[in-house]
């Protein structure tokens, strides 16, 4: 029997403009870009069958708009997928394969487990709802029409890493998302091609280091890199594909106030100097670290200078697209609003956004704390007490957790905006904490590790993170936290409903605190009071504050924006003025040790 999610009347202004012809037309991978590609977003056939059925459906239920999930309004279906069902997709694609080139089929995200056939040939399978993946389909394609068939399973709960998705949404838990929910696309690449890039930078030495991972490499592969600076002439550097160092003259550093990016045109050369492949990328020169102030408190640093991190908790959900923003412009609006509101950081809460989100943060100058989507079983939540607990996870599920964590880190590793990794949140799925924290720190020493935001504190990583609602507080204990940056990873959450912009007007709205403010002025006063309290804690050694949250989400009404983004409860200019008044000078001015 078919089941349906709550069908809200809310629709964003961007959602109203979505059509099959303009559904996410932007190139999805800005840090490894090729000029030639084929977008497969648009209308696909879909069907839902019992999960036991392995053969393709004989009848199709209708059309679904990719890349919007089955349950979303923008998909055109808005139907729930049960754990005992499978979701199928079908589309015919016209191709003109070129001799001596490989054809790659790319999926930015499919929730949760999928198999893919091209012209009745199984080309691959994938598990993990938050990471991109690619299948080489060269051997299965032909000139002219080609049929792509996809089968998806999604139990939503159990051991899956699912973030805020649940089978029965309520409070802070939201509508499930199934199937394709980010862009699907094709590209043709040379037989020997650049599969990935590793970009690192060092602000103290003003250097960009670049290495390429080559598929089907030859001997002595080299890179020719043309570096373009908007303010200067281009220059060319050439070296081994295993590592090229680029030293711009008078290097401009990446900061939230000056988000300078260097454009990189990268050419892959064989031993004879012949050009085999060409991609475009970019880099922002910056270094992330920590240092002690005069009172022995650890502070975040960017390019060697101490900086207070001030940002919102950001869920990245939408009333019409659920996990999928209705458009690139919609996604950009959120970042630009937060930038105008005086924030210099966003904590992306247990979700991986489309890669273009991080590109916009790179170019606009917005630092990111990136959470790993959660799932699985939880331990008892002991907060920052001296008796932390871990959940018991079977090896197979821990391996899948680590696979998805590594894939997320690899996908986002080259974005200068990301400064902190957050593997766990509030003890949700928290397990093998020391092992995970040490692995993350070793995997990426260029960033800091907040091992468990608001969760059970184990002495690993760089950050001790407390959650407190509605007013921020921290259990200061110099003996335990002396070697950790102390932060308030969530606070506030003051709720204020705006009539005409509610997910479900018939359901009780939800926000933090004993009762909701009676009017807008009281809401503003509560917000101001929380920021005043945060600044007091800053003087005691707190190095960051994360306010809950950017937008309302479903029945949560504690956003600075309504869920449809139509109303800013406090205007961006006023938020920026409040920050300047009550949380002055985010660049730390206390004397350093």
Q: Are 256 and 300 in contact (CB under 8 A)?
A: no
In tens, the pLDDT along 274-294 reads 999 999 999 999 999 999 999
What average pLDDT does range 302-307 have in this prediction? 97
Return the sign of the alpha-carbon dihedral for residues 587, 408, 352, 404: negative
Contact (CB, 8 A) for 487 and 544: yes
**Beta pairing partners, 306:** 301
The secondary element (H helix, E strand) that includes residue 93 is strand 85-95
Helices (H), 204-341: 328-340
pLDDT digits (tens, 9 = 90+) for 133-173: 999 999 999 999 999 999 999 999 989 999 999 999 999 99
Q: Residue 8's Cα: distance from chain center in Å?
A: 25
CA–CA distance, 327 with 421 (Å, rounded to integer): 26
Length of the chain: 593
Written as six digits, the tokens of 178 are 């199934």
Residue 467 contacts residue 452 (beta carbons within 8 Å):
no
Task: Give 477's pLDDT tier (boundaries 50, 70, 90).
Answer: confident
Distance CA 22, CA 139 (A): 30
Cis peptide before 580 (omega within 30 of 0): no
Upstream peptide bond of 549 is cis (omega within 30 degrees of 0): yes
Task: Just give the CATH number of 15-190.
Answer: 2.60.120.260
The pLDDT tens digits for 1-32 are: 779 999 999 999 999 999 999 999 999 999 99
Q: 470 preceded by cis ω (within 30°)? A: yes
Q: Is the pLDDT of residue 451 over 90?
A: yes
Are 28 and 182 in contact, with CB atoms under 8 Å apart?
A: yes
Query: Is the separation of the CB atoms in 420 and 445 below 8 Å?
Result: no
Q: What is the pLDDT of residues 190-236, one digit of tens each?
A: 999 999 999 999 999 999 999 999 999 988 899 999 999 876 778 99
Please check the confidence at residue 123 and state whether its pLDDT lies above 90: yes
The order of strands in the sheet holding 42-50 is 62-66, 42-50, 85-95, 144-153, 113-118, 121-127
The CA-based dihedral angle spanning residues 509, 331, 565, 571, taken in that order and rounded to the nearest 10 degrees: 110
Nearest to 165 by CA among 320, 323, 401, 377: 323
What's the CA gap between 560 and 578, in Å, rounded?
13
Instruction: Give the whole-angstrom CA distance, residue 570 versus residue 561.
Output: 8
Closest CA to 276 of 209, 210, 224: 224
d(CA 302, CA 314): 22
Residue 592's pLDDT band (boundaries 50, 70, 90)?
Answer: low
As a whole number of angstroms, the distance between CA 163 and CA 350 comes to 5
Average pLDDT value over all residues in the chain? 96
Neighbours of 254 (CB within 10 A): 26
* Dihedral angle computed from the Cα positions of residues 158, 160, 165 and 168, in that order, rounded to the nearest 10 degrees: -10
Q: What percentage of the chain reaches a pLDDT higher than 70? A: 99
CATH for the 288-582 domain, from 3.40.1410.10, 3.40.640.10, 3.20.20.80, 3.40.50.970: 3.20.20.80
Higher-scoring residue by pLDDT: 219, 255: 255
**Location of structure tokens 């079983």:** 377
CA-based torsion, 31, 36, 42, 45: positive or negative: negative
The secondary structure element, H or E, covering residue 165 is strand 165-166
Inter-helix orientation angle 328-340/572-582, to 10°: 40
The pairs formed by 122-129 with CB atoms below 8 angstroms and a separation of 24 or more are 127/400, 128/161, 128/400, 128/403, 128/404, 128/407, 129/154, 129/160, 129/161, 129/162, 129/177, 129/181, 129/373
Distance CA 330, CA 356 (A): 12
User: Does the domain at residues 204-283 carry the CATH identifier 2.60.40.10?
Assistant: yes
Q: CA separation (Å) from 15 to 80, 176, 501, 504?
A: 20, 19, 15, 18
Q: What is the DSSP letter of 286?
A: -
| Token representation of residue 340 | 């105008």
| Tokens linked to 377 | 């079983």
Q: Phi, psi at residue 9, to the nearest 5°?
A: -85, -10
Q: Residues with Cβ < 8 Å from 65, sequence gap 6 or more?
A: 18, 20, 23, 42, 43, 74, 75, 76
590: pLDDT confidence band, cut at 50, 70 and 90? Answer: low
- Per-residue model confidence as pLDDT tens digits over 508-544: 888 887 788 999 999 999 999 999 999 999 999 999 9
Nearest to 342 by CA among 522, 590, 547, 511: 547
Rounded mean pLDDT of 396-401? 98
Kind of pairing between the strands at 463-467 and 485-492: parallel
Q: Residue 103 and residue 285: Cα distance in Å, rounded? A: 34
- DSSP bridge pairs for 48: 87
User: Domain boundaries in the chain?
Assistant: 15-190, 204-283, 288-582
Q: Which residues contact 35 (CB under 8 A, 6 or more apart)?
A: none
- Half-sphere exposure in the Cβ direction for 316 (13 Å, CA): 25
């Amino acid at each position: 029997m078919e089941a349906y999610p709550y069908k809200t009347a809310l629709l964003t202004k961007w959602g109203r403009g979505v059509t099959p012809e303009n559904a996410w037309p932007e190139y999805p991978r800005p840090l490894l870009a090729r000029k030639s590609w084929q977008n497969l977003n648009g209308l696909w056939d879909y069907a839902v069958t019992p999960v036991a059925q392995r053969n393709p459906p004989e009848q199709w239920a209708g059309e679904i708009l990719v890349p919007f999930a089955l349950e979303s309004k923008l998909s055109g279906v808005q139907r729930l997928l049960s754990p005992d069902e499978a979701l199928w997709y079908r589309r015919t694609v016209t191709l003109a394969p070129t001799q001596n080139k490989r054809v790659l089929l790319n999926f930015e995200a499919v929730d949760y487990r999928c198999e893919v056939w091209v012209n009745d040939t199984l080309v691959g399978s994938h598990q993990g709802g938050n990471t991109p993946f690619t299948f080489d389909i060269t051997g299965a394609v032909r000139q002219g029409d080609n049929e792509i068939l996809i089968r998806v399973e999604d139990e939503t709960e159990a051991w899956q890493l699912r973030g805020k998705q649940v089978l029965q949404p309520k409070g802070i838990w939201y509508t499930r998302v199934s199937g394709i929910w980010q862009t699907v696309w094709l590209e043709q690449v040379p037989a020997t091609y650049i599969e990935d890039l590793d970009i690192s930078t060092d602000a103290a030495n003003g250097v960009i280091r670049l290495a390429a991972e080559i598929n089907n490499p030859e001997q002595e592969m080299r890179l020719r890199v043309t570096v373009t600076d908007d303010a200067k002439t281009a220059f060319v550097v050439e070296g081994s594909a295993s590592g090229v160092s680029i030293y711009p003259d008078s290097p401009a550093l990446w900061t939230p106030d000056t988000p300078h990016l260097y454009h990189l045109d990268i050419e892959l050369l064989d031993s004879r100097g012949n050009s085999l492949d060409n991609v475009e990328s970019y880099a922002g020169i910056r270094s992330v670290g920590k240092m002690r102030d005069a009172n022995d408190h650890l502070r975040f640093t960017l390019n060697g200078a101490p900086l207070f991190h001030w940002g919102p908790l950001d869920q990245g959900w939408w009333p019409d697209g659920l996990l999928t923003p209705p458009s690139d412009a919609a996604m950009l609006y959120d970042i630009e609003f937060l930038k105008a509101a005086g924030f210099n950081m966003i904590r992306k809460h247990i979700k991986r956004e489309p890669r273009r989100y991080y590109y916009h943060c790179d170019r606009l100058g917005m630092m990111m704390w990136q959470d790993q989507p959660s799932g699985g079983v939880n331990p008892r939540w002991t907060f920052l007490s001296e008796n932390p607990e871990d959940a018991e996870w079977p090896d197979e599920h821990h391996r899948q957790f680590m696979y998805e964590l590594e894939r997320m880190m690899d996908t986002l590793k080259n974005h200068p905006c990301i400064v902190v990794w957050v593997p766990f949140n509030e003890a949700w799925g928290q397990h093998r904490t020391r092992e995970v924290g040490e692995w993350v720190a070793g995997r990426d020493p260029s960033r800091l590790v907040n091992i468990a935001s608001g969760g059970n504190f184990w002495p690993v990583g760089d950050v001790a993170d407390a959650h407190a609602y509605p007013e921020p507080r921290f259990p200061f204990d110099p003996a335990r936290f002396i070697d950790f940056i102390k932060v308030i990873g969530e606070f506030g959450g003051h709720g204020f409903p705006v009539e005409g912009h509610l997910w479900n007007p018939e359901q009780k709205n939800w926000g933090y605190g004993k009762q909701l403010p009676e009017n807008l002025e009281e809401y503003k006063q509560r917000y101001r009071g929380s920021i005043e309290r945060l600044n007091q804690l800053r003087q005691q050694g707190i190095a960051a504050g994360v306010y809950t949250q950017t937008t309302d989400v479903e029945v949560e009404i504690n956003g600075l924006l309504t869920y449809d983004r139509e109303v800013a409860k406090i205007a961006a200019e006023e938020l920026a003025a409040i920050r300047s008044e009550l949380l002055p000078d985010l660049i730390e001015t206390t004397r350093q040790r």
